[in-house]
Structure 1
Amino acid sequence: MQGQNQQQAYDRGITIFSPDGRLYQVEYAREAVKRGTPSIGVRTEGGVVLLVDKRINSPLMEESSVEKIHKADDHVGIASAGHVADARQLIDYARRDAQINRVRYDEPIAVETLTKDITDHIQQYTQVGGARPFGVALLIGGVDDGEPRLFETDPSGTPYEWKAIAIGEKRADVQDYLEEHYREDLTLDEGVELALRALGEIRDELTPAGVGVGTIDAETGTFLELSDDEIREYLGEHELLPEADEGEESDETSAEDEETEE
């Protein structure tokens, strides 16, 4: 009982270390990330893929209102896992930082520089009293002079660079799949397929409305978010669509063929 009371004393303040060197509020923020729907990032030779699980909990919810992939600048995309409201605050910070860099230096901000600016901002909330840490992790993907880059941010304010990474719910299962199937020479399309198959390891069904995909092409250096129709094509091509959707797709194809013949 005494040990429990002692822990409660240390986890009430963000600025107080426990005797064993832990910041409990930061650890609780990491738990919030683990409860979030997964996001996956894959770095390929052709660019960076960001994929998110946009789980819809009710048929009454507008699908477009679930935002987990964001454009931070023309060459940078960000995916999140954890508290959506916290993610929105950090996305706004990232967009301001990117625009300030363009105005001040007349050039796009480097992906690593943007990531470290964001993590510096996050880290301040682990040192200053009166505010809690951000309960969200971000995947920041972009292109610097034709070189794809992929970073993860942690609630502690630590940046990590990855070749492929998963954050959010069931991270370990998705990460195991990525480690087993990732290759250095993946194309951008193969990166999308890998991310979809990795998410399929923990999801019973993948639907265009329940998945969000963004890519940053290394050649053009531009961020693009895929439409539902484009995602449907990927899912159908790799036989990841539910049987009901496959039936609908074949019906649509037959109808189009009949119109063409007429």
Structure 2
Amino acid sequence: MKKILFILFVSLICLNVFSQTEETKPVEKKWVAKLNATALIDGFSFPTIQFAVERKLGSYFSVQTEAGIQAYNINRRVADTLSVNTSGFRLMTEGRFYIFKYLKKDQSKTRRADGFYTGIQLFYRKNSYNERQYYYHDEISSENYENRLTDDFGIKKEGYGMSLCIGHQIPFNNFIIEPYTYIGFLKRKIKNFDESYNENLGHVLDDIDNHPTVRDFDDESDSGTLENIAIGIRIGYKF
């Protein structure tokens, strides 16, 4: 009887110690809400108010969904005639693998390198805006500045693609800073509306006053597949 009571007593003590250990063991937060700070000032495509949510799937994998709405136009001429409504949005989803966290031998220790990740991102984006350019009717008229014509036209862009993502999630208690890099490809389609300039009719662009993006990124002929490179930083909160 005494032996049985002793075993029960020891078992209760062990159970209590184990319970306390489980309670004091920190639980890894599975969700991270983020703001993409770089997207707010993106002048290469269009600036967006952009948020992301990451969900951890175990210790080494996670998925993230990100979406943004165009906030304003940047570095664009103000066109008097509006052919399209200015708007835009982005949608992205990615799978991540925290490679250094997976490779470390002692899983009980936390290291800065644990936040390094790589993965694949799929994205889709669409936006429209108005642009202004200047041109001449032909080579002869281009010799006189007074012959210059104004062309206000609309642009609609649609693109999708896939990128390799590399980044580092740096924790500060429950807050994080996340620098990232994306390298991949973009398939885009560009459509122009109400454009008067036509190279096939012998029109000549005024290369001095035209915005540098005109005819480089805004023309229908620029549709197709090209490389997609992006760098930036997100800030977030774990919960």
TM range (shorter): under 0.3
Structure showing greater relative contact order (alpha-carbon pairs closer than 8 Å, 6 or more residues apart): 1
Q: Which has the higher strand share?
A: 2
Q: Which has the higher helix share?
A: 1
TM-score normalised to structure 1 length: 0.18
TM-score normalised to structure 2 length: 0.19
